[in-house]
């Protein structure tokens, strides 16, 4: 099985280790990954701000870049939602209409792909700690993907997953909204972060780097010992050699792995936007 | 400039902790109530039925309006048609003059807020009394409503006690029963003596020529039973084909608005009193108002006319939650307000209201008639851009965006330039300062800098497996 | 009433107004039929047993703060009403038009005075409408035209006897619900009323569900704001 990675411009430029984690994780699950180099951006920032011609230009490039892909997988609920939901209408009457529709039909968010296409909801990860999951709006409402990431997280050994109160309330990123209405956007982040503190989570996990950048950025100003990380990063760290629960080991121990093991998973690394060593050389 | 105004109002609201607490309390109560009662039914199936009914009705708006007018006249009522606010106001003034009206008792009407009716009647020397408790409170306070269902939710009981104490000329305690008794006693006199009742209209039934008023307090009944003249103001889109259709729409309205299976009163008035009745209006006037609604017929925003004014979108909106209703600047607030205000009052001046949204989509999720409000907000932003009046810098920025993001080579170059350009502003992986608009981000959040290598550069060098890594099979 | 007379008050003619609407709609595409609005199977109404309806009605009414009383016969109902009113220290009540002789006897025996709606001149400015007169009533009493079990609602069709003010102005409303007035669904009532509007020239009605209420003061519940603060429904088996 081979997938083409849609890395998204935000991950590519700002959080490359989310992309690296996605690749390593998919490989461990037996998937070959390629990376069409001509990809850039889904166009959502322009689309949401009303600049639909600019959005279409960016989107057209993306459609072309993935022409030959069989499956397209991206670590972003909001970008994938843009593609699946809005590309058909955006390309109505356009020469690329048929390809855009085909592209929309073959593009998946990472957790959605792992659970719904690969049929795997336990990647054999071990990641001790207390975590809460941020249900980003475009992924949950737009894409309708809520169960997949939760199932993956519930099966992580040693991970105490607690529900985030009022999880359906938006974190306040909203694209250019975060900049145009910065104080309002920060007020929404504050409510969200108050809930994270309320449940005493050590880790805030999400599937959308935009939300994580916004929440993590606000968290750094407020202070707090919460590590903000992407689902791909958590699962990758949790399945590194030495950390991963092997099938035989799982059977011997009766299924539930004990906490512990090496790997940089646990611990008090705080601050948002932590990037892997490769990136800060 | 309207844009500066909305940003100021938002800023003011964000600084008003008491307002924010009151808004949270009210919306949480409505939201919780709604959640409890929608499980009575297959709610999604009901939403689709309600949407289909509203869409059908709007598609045939001319047909049903014609039927409504004919039935009301058959029942002995008068029907008037107002193109805009000033015509509507003039019609009501003339009705009042015709019937020698000196005092008016009003039940809630959003249309009357749209057209600023009260001030005009008062200038004519007519006493106008709002009788919905929330509207009565804000009338005394000389304010506008801040929520469709709870117009005075921004007022504390101390605020209300102060208002009522001034009225009574003596200090009053701020407990609910005391304050309620004052309103009940004072308004009872008004109901019994007022010459004219002015009402809004939740729905108007075409087949029977009836207007429908939904209340909990009973003021809607009072003003349609005791004054000798009744005037009902109706937004033309509030029409419903058949009487039995009300069962579905009332079910959706009351559950979505306040979490009630039904309200205390649903009044259905089909013209003046019948021969032999001892109460009820002797004369009945229905004023059907357009006021920009026809401007969105036939276009991409037509579905906004499905709205049954339940307020559920306000209660779920994370933005409304932070800023309340007044910040939106007009009588309709929250997501529906952010859509209707630019459409009815002009995109050029009011388009900015549609920016007060993170596009989370919760409004669409709760709308009982499935208006795609989140998509409409993007549509209004697009329409704003198409007027050509958006900020030049922003237009330039997005033009550059479209250019760069469709050319991989340009994008890679832009990243390289970005890494160089950011250097003076960056320390330890974070921006310490930045030019606008990034400065707005930095005012409240830290911002990571561009790392030395992008993902595609890492990929180009090769992403190796960890030592001991095993690729699975699938 | 012709269109011409309405024009004296200003505004557009009906034709001009509708022309704007038609222009907006643009006469696009084939028109769709009414999509229907049933929210449940029609059969539930026919199949509902009286005892089930009584039970549902009672639950629903009590849930909103109303009071449900029972009586096997109309005669018993009158005695129950008179006794309960006397127990609540009601001094004077307002009776809707209609044959209430037996009720009047029961009230008199219980020491409760009454006025008859049909005897009043309730027109605007009339003496019977004076505040002191109106405030003397402790309850209004009428028959329910319909009662809706699924919601605990009473439906009143206004006419010469069923005065609007009877169930509205006094601080308590007592509704006598005969067996055949009790239906399961609101839909059934609306369908009946629609037909009666066509065939009998009925005009206006109200659905009353429990006492008057408001939450406009800091979301705190007040009862008895403008309408009655108490609602009693007497469910009669005949």
Query: To which residue do tokens 């005791």 refer?
Result: B226
> B440, A29: Cβ pair inside 8 Å?
no
Whether B471 has a pLDDT exceeding 90, the answer reads no
Q: Which of C137, C203, C223 to mutate to test the interface with B (most CBs of B within 10 A)?
A: C203
Task: Count the residues in chain B.
Answer: 474
What pLDDT was estimated at residue C7? 57
Alpha-carbon distances of B371 from A78, A118, B19, B235, C26, rounded to whole Å: 21, 35, 28, 18, 21
How many Å lie between the alpha carbon of A62 and the closest alpha carbon of chain B? 8
Residue B441: φ, ψ to 5°: -60, -50
Q: Are C144 and C156 in contact (CB under 8 A)?
A: yes
What pLDDT was estimated at residue A246? 67
Question: DSSP for C163-177?
Answer: -GGGGTSSSEEEEEE
Work out the burial of residue C188: count CB atoms within 10 Å of its CB; fewer than 13 is exposed, 13-18 middle, 19 or more buried: buried
With H, G, I as helix, E, B as strand and everything else as coil, classify residue A2.
strand
Which one is predicted more confidently, A80 or B18?
A80
Dihedral sign, CA of B39, B41, B46, B50? Answer: negative
> B458, A278: Cβ pair inside 8 Å?
yes
Q: Which of A20, A49, A276 to mutate to test the interface with B (most CBs of B within 10 A)?
A: A49
- Structural tokens at position A39: 């990809």
Alpha-carbon distances of A177 from A180, A214, B355, B359, rounded to whole Å: 5, 11, 7, 9
What pLDDT was estimated at residue B464? 84
B444 contact A CB<8A: yes
B387 contact A CB<8A: no
Question: Chains B and C: how many Cβ contacts under 8 Å?
Answer: 290
Q: What is the mean pLDDT of residues C66-88?
A: 97
What pLDDT was estimated at residue B266? 98
Q: Are B367 and B397 in contact (CB under 8 A)?
A: no
Q: By C-alpha distance, which of C157, C198, C202 is closest to B275?
A: C202
Pick the CATH number of C46-236 from 3.40.50.10420, 3.90.1200.10, 3.30.70.980, 3.10.580.10: 3.40.50.10420
Q: Which helix (H) or strand (E) covers residue A34, if one does?
A: strand A32-34
Please state the pTM of the whole predicted model: 0.93
Residues C5-56 pLDDT 10s:
555 798 999 999 999 999 999 876 567 899 999 998 877 877 889 999 999 9
Whether A279 has a pLDDT exceeding 60, the answer reads no
Chain B residues near residue C151 by CB distance under 8 angstroms? 261-262
B435 contact A CB<8A: no
C20 contact B CB<8A: yes
- Taking only residues 378 to 437 of chain B, the set having a beta carbon closer than 8 angstroms to any beta carbon of chain C reads none
Whether A275 has a pLDDT exceeding 50, the answer reads no
With H, G, I as helix, E, B as strand and everything else as coil, classify residue B183.
helix
- Ordered by start, the domain boundaries in chain B are 1-40+299-390, 43-291, 397-461
Chains contacting A with at least 3 CB pairs below 8 Å?
A: B
- The domain defined by B1-40+299-390 carries CATH number 1.10.1060: yes
What pLDDT was estimated at residue A182? 96
Q: Which of B360, B378, B463 sits opposite A20 (nearest CB)?
A: B463
Q: Are B446 and A223 in contact (CB under 8 A)?
A: no
Instruction: Determine the Cα–Cα distance for residues B451 and C31; give it in Å rounded to an integer.
Output: 58
B242 contact C CB<8A: yes
C22 contact B CB<8A: yes
Chain B residues near residue A221 by CB distance under 8 angstroms? 444-446
The torsion of the CA quartet B385, B390, B392, B395, rounded to 10 degrees, works out to: -30
Mean pLDDT of chain A: 89
- Structural tokens at position A163: 């529900």
What pLDDT was estimated at residue A272? 38
**Does an interface of 3+ CB pairs under 8 Å exist between A and B?**
yes
Work out the burial of residue B404: count CB atoms within 10 Å of its CB; fewer than 13 is exposed, 13-18 middle, 19 or more buried: buried
B53 contact C CB<8A: yes
**Does an interface of 3+ CB pairs under 8 Å exist between C and B?**
yes
Q: Are A146 and A186 in contact (CB under 8 A)?
A: no
Q: Which of A20, A181, A186 sits opposite B455 (nearest CB)?
A: A20
> C207, B265: Cβ pair inside 8 Å?
yes
Residues A4-46 pLDDT 10s:
999 999 999 999 999 999 999 999 999 999 999 999 999 999 9
Chain A residues near residue B390 by CB distance under 8 angstroms? 50
Instruction: Determine the Cα–Cα distance for residues B250 and B269; give it in Å rounded to an integer.
Output: 16
> C39, B46: Cβ pair inside 8 Å?
yes
Q: Which of B362, B381, B386 sits opposite A49 (nearest CB)?
A: B381
Alpha-carbon distances of B353 from B4, B10, B439, rounded to whole Å: 11, 10, 22
Q: Give the residue from chain B lying closest to C231, CA to CA.
A: B264
Which one is predicted more confidently, B265 or C215?
B265
Whether A253 has a pLDDT exceeding 50, the answer reads no
> B221, C168: Cβ pair inside 8 Å?
yes
Q: What is the mean pLDDT of residues A50-77?
A: 98
- Structural tokens at position B84: 């805009």
Confidence of residue B472 (pLDDT cuts 50, 70, 90): low
Chain A residues near residue B365 by CB distance under 8 angstroms? 141
What pLDDT was estimated at residue B217? 95
CA angle B208, B211, B213 (to 5 degrees): 140
Instruction: Determine the Cα–Cα distance for residues B240 and A8; give it in Å rounded to an integer.
Output: 47
Residues A140-151 pLDDT 10s:
999 999 999 999
Instruction: Determine the Cα–Cα distance for residues B92 and B215; give it in Å rounded to an integer.
Output: 23
What pLDDT was estimated at residue B3? 66
Chain C residues near residue B225 by CB distance under 8 angstroms? 164-165, 168
Confidence of residue A245 (pLDDT cuts 50, 70, 90): confident
Alpha-carbon distances of C16 from B87, B251, B429, C19, C96, rounded to whole Å: 14, 35, 66, 5, 45
> B218, C227: Cβ pair inside 8 Å?
yes
Residue C54: φ, ψ to 5°: -60, -45
> B216, C212: Cβ pair inside 8 Å?
yes
How many Å lie between the alpha carbon of A198 and the closest alpha carbon of chain B? 18
What pLDDT was estimated at residue A264? 36
> B265, C201: Cβ pair inside 8 Å?
no
Give the ipTM of the model, two decimals please.
0.96
Q: By C-alpha distance, which of C40, C48, C80, C86 is closest to C176?
A: C80
C183 contact B CB<8A: no
A51 contact B CB<8A: yes
Chain A residues near residue B447 by CB distance under 8 angstroms? 217
C13 contact B CB<8A: yes
- Taking only residues 196 to 215 of chain C, the set having a beta carbon closer than 8 angstroms to any beta carbon of chain B reads 197-198, 201-215
Domains of chain A (ranges, CATH numbers): 2-116 (no CATH), 122-273 (3.40.50)
Instruction: Determine the Cα–Cα distance for residues B27 and B137; give it in Å rounded to an integer.
Output: 19
Q: What is the mean pLDDT of residues A75-103?
A: 97
Which one is predicted more confidently, B349 or B467?
B349
B309 CB-near residues (< 8 Å, 6+ apart): B110, B148, B202, B253, B336
Whether C122 has a pLDDT exceeding 90, the answer reads yes
How many Å lie between the alpha carbon of B238 and the closest alpha carbon of chain C? 14
Residue C213: φ, ψ to 5°: -150, 165
How many Å lie between the alpha carbon of B410 and the closest alpha carbon of chain C? 45
- Axis crossing angle, helix B43-59 with helix B245-258, rounded to the nearest 10: 120
Residue B285, beta-bridge partner list: B78, B231
What pLDDT was estimated at residue B175? 94
Task: Count the residues in chain A.
Answer: 281
Q: What is the mean pLDDT of residues C84-110?
A: 96
With H, G, I as helix, E, B as strand and everything else as coil, classify residue B239.
strand
B456 contact A CB<8A: yes
Burial track A161-186 (b if 16+ CB lie within 10 A, e otherwise): beebeeeebbbbbbbbbbbbbbebbb
Q: By C-alpha distance, which of B200, B201, B172, B203 is closest to B185?
A: B172
Strand-pair category, B283-289 with C153-157: unpaired
Residues B307-346 pLDDT 10s:
999 999 999 999 999 999 999 999 999 999 999 999 999 9
What pLDDT was estimated at residue B123? 95
- Ordered by start, the domain boundaries in chain C are 46-236
Query: To which residue do tokens 């949204």 refer?
Result: B357
C-alpha R_g of chain A: 19
Query: To which residue do tokens 């019937």 refer?
Result: B99
Residue B301: φ, ψ to 5°: -105, 10
Whether C3 has a pLDDT exceeding 60, the answer reads no
Q: Are B230 and B210 in contact (CB under 8 A)?
A: no
Q: Is the peptide bond before B437 cis (omega within 30 degrees of 0)?
A: yes
Q: Which of C28, C31, C60 sits opposite B298 (nearest CB)?
A: C28
Q: Which of A28, A45, A181 sits opposite B355 (nearest CB)?
A: A181
Q: What is the mean pLDDT of residues A152-176?
A: 96
Q: Which helix (H) or strand (E) covers residue A167, if one does?
A: none
Question: DSSP for A218-264?
Answer: HHHHH----EEEEHHHHHHHHTSTTTS--HHHHHHTTT-PPS--SSS
Residues A3-12 pLDDT 10s:
999 999 999 9
- Structural tokens at position C125: 């400015």
Q: By C-alpha distance, which of B204, B209, B181 is closest to B78?
A: B209
What pLDDT was estimated at residue C2? 43
CB atoms within 10 A of CB A130: 13
> C206, B268: Cβ pair inside 8 Å?
yes
Chain C residues near residue B258 by CB distance under 8 angstroms? 215
> B91, C10: Cβ pair inside 8 Å?
yes
Residues B4-47 pLDDT 10s:
789 999 999 999 999 999 999 999 999 999 999 998 889 999 99
What pLDDT was estimated at residue B400? 97
What pLDDT was estimated at residue C6? 55
Q: What is the mean pLDDT of residues A150-158?
A: 97
Residue B330: φ, ψ to 5°: -145, -175
C159 contact B CB<8A: yes
Q: 3-class secondary structure for B320-372?
A: HHHHCCHHHCCCCCHHHHHHHHHHHHCHHHHHHHHHCCCCCCHHHHHCCCCCC
How many Å lie between the alpha carbon of B104 and the closest alpha carbon of chain C? 13
> A188, B358: Cβ pair inside 8 Å?
yes
What pLDDT was estimated at residue B247? 98
Pick the CATH number of B43-291 from 3.40.50.2000, 3.40.50.10420, 3.40.50.970, 3.30.70.1380: 3.40.50.10420
Instruction: Determine the Cα–Cα distance for residues A119 and A103; give it in Å rounded to an integer.
Output: 21
Residue C29: DSSP 8-state: S
Which one is predicted more confidently, A186 or A262?
A186
Give the CB-side neighbour count of residue C165, counting CA atoms within 13 A.
31
Residues B120-155 pLDDT 10s:
999 999 999 999 999 999 999 999 888 888 899 889
Instruction: Determine the Cα–Cα distance for residues B234 and B215; give it in Å rounded to an integer.
Output: 16
Residues B348-396 pLDDT 10s:
999 999 999 999 999 999 999 999 999 999 999 999 999 988 889 999 9
With H, G, I as helix, E, B as strand and everything else as coil, classify residue C186.
helix
Whether A234 has a pLDDT exceeding 80, the answer reads yes
Q: By C-alpha distance, which of B202, B293, B205 is closest to B244?
A: B205
Chains contacting C with at least 3 CB pairs below 8 Å?
A: B
Residues A179-214 pLDDT 10s:
999 999 999 999 999 999 999 999 999 999 999 999
Whether A247 has a pLDDT exceeding 70, the answer reads no
> A182, B444: Cβ pair inside 8 Å?
yes
How many Å lie between the alpha carbon of A130 and the closest alpha carbon of chain B? 24
Whether C161 has a pLDDT exceeding 70, the answer reads yes
Instruction: Determine the Cα–Cα distance for residues B109 and B95; give it in Å rounded to an integer.
Output: 17
């Amino acid at each position: 099985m081979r997938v083409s990675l849609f890395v998204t411009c935000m991950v590519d430029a700002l959080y490359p280790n989310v992309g690296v984690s996605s690749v390593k994780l998919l490989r461990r699950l037996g998937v070959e990954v390629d990376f069409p180099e001509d990809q850039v951006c889904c166009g959502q920032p322009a689309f949401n701000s009303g600049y639909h011609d600019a959005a279409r230009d960016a989107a057209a490039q993306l459609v072309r870049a993935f022409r030959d892909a069989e499956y397209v997988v991206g670590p972003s609920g909001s970008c994938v939602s843009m593609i699946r939901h809005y590309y058909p209408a955006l390309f109505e009457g356009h020469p690329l209409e048929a390809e855009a529709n085909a592209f929309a039909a073959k593009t998946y968010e990472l957790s959605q792909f792992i659970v719904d296409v690969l049929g795997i909801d336990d990647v054999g990860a071990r990641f001790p700690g207390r975590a809460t999951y941020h249900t980003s709006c475009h992924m949950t409402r737009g894409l309708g993907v809520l169960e997949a990431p939760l199932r993956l997280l519930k099966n992580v050994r040693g991970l105490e997953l607690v529900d985030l109160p009022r999880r359906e309330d938006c974190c306040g990123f909203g694209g250019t909204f975060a900049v145009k209405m910065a104080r309002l956007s920060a007020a929404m982040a504050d409510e969200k972060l108050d809930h994270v503190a309320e449940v005493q989570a050590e880790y805030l996990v999400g599937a959308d780097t935009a939300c994580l950048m916004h929440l993590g950025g606000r968290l750094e100003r407020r202070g707090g010992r919460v590590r903000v990380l992407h689902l791909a990063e958590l699962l990758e760290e949790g399945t590194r050699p030495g950390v991963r629960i092997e099938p035989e080991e799982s059977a011997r121990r009766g299924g539930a792995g004990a906490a512990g093991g090496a790997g940089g998973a646990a611990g008090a690394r705080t601050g948002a936007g932590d990037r892997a060593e490769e990136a800060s050389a | 400039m309207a844009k500066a105004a909305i940003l100021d109002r938002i800023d003011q609201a964000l600084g008003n902790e008491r307002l924010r607490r009151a808004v949270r309390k009210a919306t949480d109560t409505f939201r919780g109530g709604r959640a409890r009662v929608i499980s009575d039914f297959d709610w999604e199936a009901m939403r689709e039925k309600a949407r289909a009914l509203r869409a059908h009705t709007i598609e045939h708006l001319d047909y049903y309006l014609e039927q409504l007018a004919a039935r009301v006249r058959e029942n002995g009522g008068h029907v008037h048609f107002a193109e805009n606010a000033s015509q509507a106001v003039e019609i009501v003034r003339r009705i009042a003059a015709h019937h020698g009206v000196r005092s008016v008792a009003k039940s809630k009407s959003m249309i009357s807020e749209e057209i600023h009716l009260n001030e005009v009647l008062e200038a004519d020397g007519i006493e106008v009394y709002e009788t919905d408790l929330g509207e009565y409170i804000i009338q005394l306070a000389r304010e506008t409503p801040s929520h469709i269902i709870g117009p005075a939710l921004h007022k504390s009981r101390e605020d209300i006690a102060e208002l009522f104490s001034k009225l009574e000329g003596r200090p009053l305690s701020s407990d609910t029963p005391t304050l309620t008794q004052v309103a009940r006693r004072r308004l009872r006199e008004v109901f019994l003596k007022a010459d004219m009742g002015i009402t809004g209209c939740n729905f108007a039934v075409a087949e029977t020529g009836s207007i429908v008023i939904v209340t909990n307090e009973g003021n809607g009944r009072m003003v349609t039973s005791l004054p000798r003249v009744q005037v009902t103001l109706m937004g033309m889109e509030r029409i419903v084909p058949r009487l039995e259709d009300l069962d579905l729409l009332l079910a959706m309205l009351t559950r979505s608005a306040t979490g009630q299976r039904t309200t205390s009163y649903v009044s259905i008035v089909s013209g003046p009193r019948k021969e032999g009745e001892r109460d009820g209006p002797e004369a009945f006037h229905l004023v059907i108002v357009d006021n920009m609604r026809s401007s969105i017929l036939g276009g991409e925003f037509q579905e906004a006319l499905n709205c049954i004014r339940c307020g559920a979108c306000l209660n779920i909106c994370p933005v409304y939650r932070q800023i309340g209703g007044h910040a939106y600047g007009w009588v309709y607030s929250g997501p529906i307000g952010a859509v209707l205000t630019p459409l009815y009052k002009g995109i050029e001046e009011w388009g900015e209201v549609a920016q007060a949204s993170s596009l989370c989509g919760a409004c669409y999720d709760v709308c009982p008639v499935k208006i795609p409000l989140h998509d409409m907000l993007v549509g209004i932003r697009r329409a704003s851009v198409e007027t050509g009046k958006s900020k030049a810098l922003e237009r330039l920025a997005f033009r550059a965006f479209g250019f760069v993001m469709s050319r991989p080579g340009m994008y890679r170059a832009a990243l390289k330039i970005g890494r160089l350009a950011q250097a003076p502003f960056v320390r330890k992986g974070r921006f310490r300062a930045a030019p606008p608009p990034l400065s707005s981000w930095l005012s409240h959040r830290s911002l990571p800098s561009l790392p030395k290598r992008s993902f595609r550069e890492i990929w180009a060098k090769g992403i190796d497996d960890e030592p001991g890594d095993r690729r699975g099979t699938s | 009433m012709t269109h011409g007379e309405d024009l004296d008050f200003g505004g557009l003619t009906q034709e001009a107004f509708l022309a704007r609407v038609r222009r907006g709609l643009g006469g696009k595409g084939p028109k769709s039929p009414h999509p229907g609005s049933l929210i449940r199977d029609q059969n539930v109404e026919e199949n509902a047993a009286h005892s089930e309806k009584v039970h549902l009605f009672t639950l629903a009414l009590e849930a909103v703060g109303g009071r449900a009383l029972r009586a096997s016969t109309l005669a018993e109902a009158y005695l129950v009403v008179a006794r309960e009113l006397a127990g609540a220290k009601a001094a004077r009540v307002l009776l809707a038009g209609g044959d209430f002789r037996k009720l009047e006897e029961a009230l008199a025996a219980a020491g409760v005075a009454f006025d008859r709606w049909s005897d009043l001149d309730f027109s605007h400015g009339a003496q019977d409408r004076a505040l002191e007169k109106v405030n003397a009533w402790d309850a209004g009493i009428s028959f329910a035209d319909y009662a809706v079990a699924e919601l605990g609602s009473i439906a009143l069709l206004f006419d010469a006897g069923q005065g609007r003010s009877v169930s509205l102005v006094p601080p308590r409303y007592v509704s006598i619900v005969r067996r055949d007035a009790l239906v399961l669904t609101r839909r059934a009532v609306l369908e009946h009323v629609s037909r009666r509007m066509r065939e009998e020239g009925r005009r206006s009605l109200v659905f009353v569900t429990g006492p008057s209420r408001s939450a406009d003061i800091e979301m705190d519940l007040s009862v008895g704001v403008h309408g009655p603060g108490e609602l009693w429904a007497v469910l009669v088996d005949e």
